[in-house]
Amino acid sequence: MIQMLHEKGLRSEHAYTAAFLSIGLSLFTWAASLKAEPGAGLDRADRWGIFVGEWAPTFFGLGIALSHYEQQDGALNASVRDIRKEREQQAM
How does pLDDT run across 6-23, given as a tens digit for each residue?
Answer: 889 999 999 999 999 999
Name the burial class of residue 29, with classes exposed (0-12), middle (13-18) and buried (19+) by CB atoms within 10 angstroms of its CB: buried
The candidate with the shortest Cα–Cα distance to 71, out of 9, 12, 8, is: 12
In this prediction, residue 90 carries a pLDDT of 84
For the whole prediction, is pTM greater than 0.85? Answer: no
Percentage, residues of the chain above pLDDT 70: 90
Q: Which of 41-45, 47-51, 73-77 is predicted least confidently?
A: 73-77
Overall average pLDDT of the 71-87 stretch = 70
